[in-house]
Structure formats: structure tokens, C-alpha cells
Structure 1
């Protein structure tokens, strides 16, 4: 079997945030927004058998996560943006090419992310304390005295 990496895709599961939080730290107001996102890896293989034709098989693995984005005064603060939670990976295989299976895989990943929406919102709500600690750490490094 010779695996071929067909493609790597990063898909936002929703364009609107699953949760947003406003917080004031020091003299600065911050807005944290949380989105679910996924990345899917495809590998197409063609098993070879001596007595019959090869049938391509598409193997895939999806990673679904909750990402945090932070803004201050309307400007993005990339230093505080990161993945705050990763769900268990989802994987499978389809008989046929990866190009033909892509829409089925995308639909399955979307259903998986949707089924975990309540957990994603809970994780995002709990991240407020983590973000405040990160802001405290940065402030401790920059404030003199």
C-alpha cells in the first residue's frame, strides 16, 4: 500500500462565535471570542491484490477543537489566541477516491462538531479564568515596581 496525502483542510465549523466574553484587565478592555474549528487529513490508498483490480480507499482523520481569539480596542491580539480544547479525533474510511468522499466526510465532521456544541460552549465559558491568568502573567512582566 502506498499512501498519498490527498489534502489537508482547515474548516471553520461556524462563522459566528459559540461564545464571547468581555473583560477588563488593568486599564484595557478585551473581547474574547470562541469558535469551533476542524482540520481533516485525507490519505488515499490503493490496495493491490494479485487476482483482482485495485479499488481505491480513502482514509481520513479529523481533529475538532475550540479556538480562542482576543481583541483589544478592535485590534486582534494574536499572542492570546490559541486552541483551548481538542476533542477526541474522529476517523474513518470510504471505498473510492478522497475527492468523491470529501462531502460525506465534511458532513460527518460537521455533525460531530454540532453534537459537541454544548461541551464547546462550556469549555469556552471556563476559559475566562485561564485568560485572566495569562493577562496577569503578561502584566507582571511589563509593569515595573
Structure 2
């Protein structure tokens, strides 16, 4: 058997989870949280010498919660990061990946919806972490500190 592979990585859905206002050292910050999913698909086409073969689409999705922070409308890149990762999700469908994309997206959507409470809890639990990170950034920016 000979296999032919085609791979692609596709960014999928970004959905808002939570946002919070944080006041620190007389500056107002806005922390925004969103779930992000990245999907990797691989088209596998087995070739048999004496019979036809059906292509298979194998995929893996990585889902997580990302944080972004702004102050006075300006993004603070040092504060943006992934704060939580879910267990990867994977599967396969008979046929090509273009035709399976709707099924893959639906399965990822169900997975993300089932973990919406966990995503919200991770975002809400991040407030103490933000305060500590802001303290660290402030100490770096203060002369002699």
C-alpha cells in the first residue's frame, strides 16, 4: 500500500468568553478573553495495486483560552497570552477534507460549547494573575525599582 498525504493548518473559530476591567496604579486596563481553536487536517489517500481506495481526512484541533489586555485603547503585548489549554480533540472522516470541513467544525463547536463553563472559570480566575503581572511590569518601569 502506498499513501499520499496533503496537510494544511487552518485557524478556526475565535469566540469571546469574558472581559473584565482592572484598575492598577491609577490606570484602567481592560482584559478580554476568547476561546481560540486551531485545526490541522491531513488528507490521506491510500493506494492499493488491485482495488480502489477511499481518501481519509484526519484532523486534530487544539482549543484554548487567550487573554489580551488594553490600556486607554492601546494593546499591551506583554500581557497577551494563552491562559488555558483544553485536551486536544481529533478524528477522521472518509472522503476529502474539503467535504468533511462542515462536520469537523460542528464537532469542534460541540466540544467548545461543552467546555464553555471551564473557559469562563479560567478567565474569571485570571484576575489575581493579572494583578501580579501588572505589579511586575510596574516594578520594571519604575526607576530604581
Cα displacement (A) at 1:105: 0.2
Cα displacement (A) at 1:57: 0.4
1:131 alignment partner in structure 2: 130
Number of residues of Structure 1 aligned to a counterpart in Structure 2? 142
Residues of 2 paired with 1:115 and 1:19: CA distance?
A: 16
**Higher strand fraction: Structure 1 or Structure 2?**
2
Q: Which moved more, 1:93-102 or 1:25-34?
A: 25-34
State the TM-score, normalized to the length of structure 2.
0.93
The gaps in structure 1 that reach 5 residues or longer are none
Cα displacement (A) at 1:53: 0.8
Cα RMSD after superposing both structures: 1.2
The answer to whether 1:25 aligns with 2:14 is: no
Cα displacement (A) at 1:118: 0.2
* SS in structure 2 of the partner of residue 55 of structure 1: coil
* SS in structure 2 of the partner of residue 114 of structure 1: helix
1:48 alignment partner in structure 2: 47
1:74 alignment partner in structure 2: 73
Kindly provide the CA deviation profile for residues 39-62 of structure 1, in whole angstroms up to 9, marking residues without a partner as x.
000000111223211211000000
Cα displacement (A) at 1:4: 1.3
The gaps in structure 2 that reach 5 residues or longer are none
State the TM-score, normalized to the length of structure 1.
0.93
Cα displacement (A) at 1:96: 0.3
1:96 alignment partner in structure 2: 95
Cα displacement (A) at 1:12: 2.7
